[in-house]
């Protein structure tokens, strides 16, 4: 098993606040690593550093062996193709004036000269069609605008865009938190299927432990900038090692009324 | 026997430039003192439009109420004038919303915002209103309430802000509390504390709670009965344990199946 990402001594200060405070973490190729924590725990800052969307105060992030913060611009551009992100809110992460084709094609056009211009157009449409098909959208949605889609469909468009460059790593930052539960379940199934088919590595950021349990191989628990626990999903949920993890698990509402009531009566 | 709050055959329409949206089509349910009724549904189910209808808080226009009754102790709130309805709001029926940051006034100290409820709805004199506000903040579980009363919303965490909202809602000792996704914006450990607070306050004061939520886990934790809504209609209703263990409708079954459940063992 090889490490696709290696994070060492990573720290990010905002003024006197250490948003990320000395994190060491490896992401194994092909796994789903979940990063969980409450608001202010530093989970989003961690992923921003990992994507080099922010500069660290100290520490390193290696992607496939290359030190992200020391890479020259041209090589960084190449590495960036291999790491993509899907954000929580599909409404605000798309330009409302762009058609779906152009939204999904934008990374292609940005990174691949051969698809620019009139002749590239057919090639782009074909690739976008493939991508939309992969995320379960019919090809005839290409000429539509984001507002014509439901939240779940929009998140599928975001996923198609993230896959356009055939990345190895996809950071999923609360990808289903804004969706209804029935839609959430479908999007989680889609993510699982795509991972198996394309051999993707996921870093899955979430505050929802029940969702994390469905999708993660390993779980990192963040609190106040620090990683307080890192464990196999099975171990973490059955025998949490850190007191904070236990408290987090205890706080999750249980959709079983008898169990929920028993716990409440006992507390 | 009349229920404390009963909604009968409620219809809510939004008359927009692009057409009429039938947000609620014939919804009915009842809730009694000391009871928690959860109204659960996905986005677009009409649960919030229903909740806002009780105090006629949907924006008019575009909202109209073509039919229905909202009975508080058998008295139809829909027949009241705006002036009489204002006496009900905050006194008999109060609301808590999802996002405390947008429902609190950012320019006013939180103690004054709670006191305003007493001054406006009960004509309490200034000093007495202030005392009442501090007491309400304390009851809502806010530590050091005298000091917190003088702070502004941005100086409080999300959990404390929601406690302020609960203090504001309960300071007038309402008989019915309508809570619209009261913990959705909160972290899970804070959510657990807020739910516990609501259950505890209900035990002490015996108010009826109508809890609007999309989260079946929250329903299982705190509600006695549940109304499942979809596309403006009631799909299923009943005792929480009965509905969760033996749902009668496909949609309820689907919703339960889709809800991720934490397995520990």
pLDDT, tens digit, for every residue of B101-130?
A: 778 999 999 999 999 989 888 888 888 999
Helix (H, G, I), strand (E, B) or coil at B28: strand
Contacts of A41 (CB under 8 A, 6+ apart): A222, A223, A224, A225
Q: What is the percent of chain B where pLDDT is above 70?
A: 99
Q: What is the mean predicted confidence (pLDDT) over A201-206?
A: 96
Q: Span B36-52, mean pLDDT?
A: 93
Report DSSP state, residue A253: P
Q: Is the ipTM of this complex over 0.85?
A: no
Handedness of CA A113, A116, A120, A125 (dihedral sign): positive
Q: How far is CA A161 from the centre of its chain?
A: 13
The predicted pLDDT at position A64 comes to: 94
pLDDT given for residue A262 in this prediction: 57
How close is the nearest chain A Cα to the Cα of B47, in Å?
A: 14
Q: Which residues of A touch B263 (CB under 8 A)?
A: 213, 237
* Tokens encoding B190: 């804070």
Tokens of B150: 């003088």
CA distance A215 to A33: 9
Closest CA to A3 of A65, A55, A46: A65
User: H helices of chain B, where?
Assistant: 47-54, 82-88, 100-103, 110-122, 126-139, 145-149, 158-170, 188-205, 216-222, 240-245, 250-258
Place of tokens 């009261």: B182
Residue A29 tokens read as: 């190729």
**pLDDT over 90 (residue A117):** no
**Which of B214, B226, B244, B264 is the best mutation test for A, with the most CBs of A within 10 A?**
B264
- Chain A residues within an 8 Å CB radius of B258: 181-182, 184-185
The answer to whether A253 contacts chain B (CB < 8 Å) is yes
Residue A120: the pLDDT is 81
Whether B225 has a pLDDT exceeding 60, the answer reads: yes
User: CB B258 to CB A182 under 8 A?
Assistant: yes
Taking a C-beta distance cutoff of 8 angstroms, is the pair B51, B98 a contact? no
pLDDT in tens, A174-187: 998 888 888 898 89
Residue A264: per-residue pLDDT? 57
Tell me which chain B residues have a C-beta less than 8 angstroms from the C-beta of A252. Answer: 188, 217, 262
How does the average pLDDT of chain A come out, rounded? 91
Residues of B with CB under 8 A from a CB of A: 42-43, 158, 187-192, 195, 199, 214-221, 240-241, 244-245, 254-265
Q: Which pairing describes strands A169-173 and A83-86: parallel, antiparallel, or unpaired?
A: parallel
The Cα–Cα gap between B193 and B181 comes to 15
CA nearest neighbour of B80 among B71, B5, A97? B71
Q: Residue B141 pLDDT more than 90?
A: no
Distance CA B31, CA A190 (A): 40
Instruction: Tell me, yes or no, if the pTM score tops 0.95.
Output: no
Determine the average pLDDT of the residues in A35-61: 93
Contact B264 A249 (CB under 8 A): yes
Mean pLDDT in residue range B190-201: 88
> Alpha-carbon distance B210 to A211, whole Å?
27
Per the listing, tokens 């691949």 go with A112
> What is the C-alpha to C-alpha distance for residues A130 and A163, in angstroms, rounded to an integer?
11
Write out chain A residues lying below 8 Å of B256, CB-based.
255
Which distant-in-sequence residues (6+ apart) come within 8 Å of A93 by Cβ? A87, A158
Closest listed residue to residue A256, CA positions, set B238, B236, B183, B219 = B219
What are the tokens at B265?
A: 């063992």
Percent of chain A's residues with pLDDT above 70: 97
- Structure token digits, residue A107: 């990374």
What is the number of CB-based contacts under 8 A between chain A and chain B? 98
């Amino acid at each position: 098993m090889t490490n696709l990402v290696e994070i060492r001594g990573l720290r990010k200060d905002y003024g006197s606040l250490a948003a990320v405070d000395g994190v060491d973490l490896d992401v194994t190729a092909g796994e789903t690593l979940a990063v969980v924590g409450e608001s202010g725990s530093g989970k989003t800052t961690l992923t921003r550093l990992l994507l080099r969307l922010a500069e660290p105060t100290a520490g390193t992030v290696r992607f496939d062996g290359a030190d992200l913060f020391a890479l020259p611009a041209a090589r960084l551009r190449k590495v960036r193709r291999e790491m993509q992100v899907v954000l929580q809110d599909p409404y605000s992460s798309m330009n409302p004036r762009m058609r779906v084709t152009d939204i999904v094609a934008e990374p292609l056009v940005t990174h691949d000269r051969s698809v620019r211009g009139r002749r590239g157009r057919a090639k782009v449409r074909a690739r976008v069609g493939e991508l939309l098909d992969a995320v379960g959208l019919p090809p005839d949605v290409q000429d539509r605008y984001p507002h014509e889609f439901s939240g779940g469909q929009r998140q599928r468009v975001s996923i198609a865009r993230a896959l356009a460059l055939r990345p190895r790593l996809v950071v999923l930052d609360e990808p289903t938190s804004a969706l209804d539960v029935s839609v959430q379940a479908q999007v989680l199934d889609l993510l699982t299927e795509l991972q198996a088919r394309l051999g993707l590595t996921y870093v899955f950021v979430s505050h929802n432990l029940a969702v994390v349990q469905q999708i993660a191989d390993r779980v990192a628990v963040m609190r106040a900038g620090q990683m307080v626990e890192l464990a196999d999903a099975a171990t973490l949920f059955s025998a949490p090692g850190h007191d904070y993890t236990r408290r987090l698990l205890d706080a999750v509402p249980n959709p079983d009324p008898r169990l929920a009531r028993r716990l409440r009566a006992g507390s | 026997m009349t229920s404390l709050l009963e909604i009968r055959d409620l219809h809510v329409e939004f008359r927009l430039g692009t057409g009429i949206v039938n947000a609620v089509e014939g919804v009915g349910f009842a809730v009694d003192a000391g009871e928690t009724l959860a109204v659960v549904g996905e986005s677009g189910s009409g649960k919030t439009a229903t909740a806002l209808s009780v105090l006629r808080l949907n924006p008019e226009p575009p909202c109209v109420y073509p039919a229905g009754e909202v009975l508080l102790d058998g008295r139809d709130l829909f027949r009241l004038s705006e002036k009489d309805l204002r006496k009900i709001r905050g006194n008999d029926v109060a609301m808590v919303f999802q996002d405390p940051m947008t429902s609190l006034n950012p320019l006013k100290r939180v103690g004054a915002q709670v006191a305003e409820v007493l001054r406006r709805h009960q004509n309490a004199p200034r000093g007495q209103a202030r005392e009442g506000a501090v007491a309400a903040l304390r009851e809502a579980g806010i530590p050091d309430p005298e000091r917190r009363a003088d702070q502004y919303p941005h100086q409080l965490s999300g959990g404390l802000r929601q406690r302020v909202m609960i203090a504001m809602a309960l300071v007038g000792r309402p008989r019915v509390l309508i809570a619209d996704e009261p913990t959705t914006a909160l972290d899970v450990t804070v959510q657990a504390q807020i739910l516990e607070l609501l259950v505890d306050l209900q035990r002490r004061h015996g108010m009826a709670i109508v809890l609007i939520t999309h989260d079946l886990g929250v329903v299982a934790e705190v509600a006695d009965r549940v109304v499942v809504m979809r596309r403006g209609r009631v799909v299923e209703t009943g005792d929480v344990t009965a509905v969760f263990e033996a749902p009668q409708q496909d949609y309820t079954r689907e919703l339960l199946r889709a809800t991720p459940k934490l397995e520990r063992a």
